[in-house]
Amino acid sequence: MKRTFILIAAAALSAAMQAAGPPTVHEAQKFIEDAEARLLALSVEGQRADWVKSTYITDDTEALAAKADERAINAAVDLAKKSTRFDALKLPDDVRRKINLLKLSLTLATPADAKESEELTRIAESMEGTYGKGKYCPPGASACLDLEDLTRLMAASRKPAELLDAWRGWHAIARPIRPEFVRYVALANKGARELGFANNGAMWRAKYDMPPDDFAKELDRLWEQVRPLYLSLHAYIRTKLREQYGAGAVPADGPIPAHLLGNMWAQTWDNVYPLAAPRDADPGFDLSEILKSRKTDYKQMVHYGEHFFTSLGFAPLPESFWERSQFVKPRDREVVCHASAWDIDFVEDVRLKMCIDITAEDFLTIHHELGHNFYQRAYDKQPFLYRDSANDGFHEAVGDTMALSVTPDYLVKIGLLDKAPDGSKDIGLLLGKALEKVAFLPFGLVIDQWRWKVFSGEIPPERYNQAWWELRRKYQGVAPPVARGEDDFDPGAKYHVASNTPYMRYFLADILQFQFHRALARIAGCHEPLHRCSIYDNKEAGRRFNEMLEMGLSRPWPEALAKLTGERKMDATAIRDYFAPLQKWLDQQNQGKPVGW
């Protein structure tokens, strides 16, 4: 999901503010009403500029987007000053929450110094633009390869040399980002400290309705709940890759080389499923081939996703969505193909930005991104500061919750399958899903674990790349395929690092989507194993789901979670419940083999 987060520069109260009389509740209420109107107008302006920048990358569009951000900053500076006037005042809960959100709804705090503020916003735009324009030009090749080309190659190739070449080629595009990133860290930390935070990472962790240190402990608790399942999956996949590529390429008991897992960042492993599929577990269908054989076009792919939500009782997407979205990669210009959902006017002008391939992966991605759009529409009646998800993990989880209902029975109901495979094929289906969801969990932790340590100074610039791979080995059990040095900047080869986008939301989403799915399956009255439940066309499940979505950010996230699930804590046991048959099977396959690294 793409949203323009407010960028706030810290500053002391002005002399006029200090000379003003004692604040009143009425004054605070009027302040927040005016602030919301002002921020809404600036956010819409910023969204439009960012949309053009992302769908038409040039030096000019980057500059225009940076100027729009600067205008938001200048206004937010004024609001940050004035909001401190009410810090000691006893306010109605609603007003106090909005004032707190005004200070916390940010991902980047620019310094008070005007030149440094401009420099930081320019660097932020430049890093994302460098990533978006990135290409690998193989020596002697007739054409360069962009990330979409390289993604397809990584998914399909079984030639180690070819995979290594693609991996090295893409990771090289991040080297120019490194000097800017070092400066970005220094300036972002300065801005965060001026707001009273220890550093930029501490500021990011402060937005979860709990103290930052408590949030970090919650992540440790959730990871420990799912770690045994990940270790079993890792050991099994390592064995299968060793059988495919040989003992010289894959160790028996060490980390897995990152380029062999079917994904540029080894963040999901579902593309190596053909190498690891259980015997006789083929479900008998290939969704990508079905979609292609039916000559499904990009717009029909999106209609499938929309229909899932309308079957639950949600209103169809507006006509403007179909007119203004980017569904395919244009041939005449550079764009950011990374899939994202946009809320341009924070009311009805929602859009999807993708470069759609007719594949099962993009079929699920569309469900995910439309989840953002339908969430955005559900809370569009809330005051502006509440027009967001209960926490950022909720937003990412909503679409993926729908994707968990994309079961074979669902594909039968929408006419893409004639008959669903019987229960004997479940292990194969579960393994494929685990290679996408369970494999992702430690990667979801690593990106922000690395950045938090960078922002705190625990990882200095001279150890950026070394520390990156130390964390990936510790959590993921993966290693670089070739020696890496500090002239490399491998974290910057991931979009979210280059674009200043916090990543912990994706880890939380991976946890929450299974918790949501378990609750919705119960509401829908599903008595089958959890992985076989689909809420497609169940209006009661849709009604309950929408009740949570409509809350937006108006209440702390535990209340939103309880609205749907009856539970006030995130709980990763739902993942263990979903994959229970697979865990048993994996442990049988791993008998006598090393587990861990």
Task: Write out the catalytic residue numbers.
Answer: 338-339, 368-369, 372, 396, 496, 506
326: phi then psi, degrees, rounded to nearest 5: -105, 115
Q: Which amino acid is at 534?
A: S
Q: Which amino acid is at 307?
A: H
d(CA 66, CA 150) in angstroms, rounded, equals 29
Which two three-digit tokens encode residue 471?
A: 């964390």
Distances (CA, A) of 262 to 155, 198, 266, 366: 5, 38, 7, 20
298: phi then psi, degrees, rounded to nearest 5: -60, -35
d(CA 129, CA 498) in angstroms, rounded, equals 9
Q: Taking the CB of residue 216, how many other CB atoms lie within 10 A of it?
A: 17
**162, exposed or middle or buried, with CB in 10 Å at 0-12, 13-18, 19+?**
middle
CB 320 within 8 A of CB 349: yes
Distances (CA, A) of 156 to 26, 77, 249, 366: 63, 49, 18, 21
Q: What angle do CA 372, 557, 572 make, to 5 degrees?
A: 85
d(CA 201, CA 295) in angstroms, rounded, equals 47
Which two three-digit tokens encode residue 276?
A: 């690891």
Q: Which amino acid is at 18?
A: Q
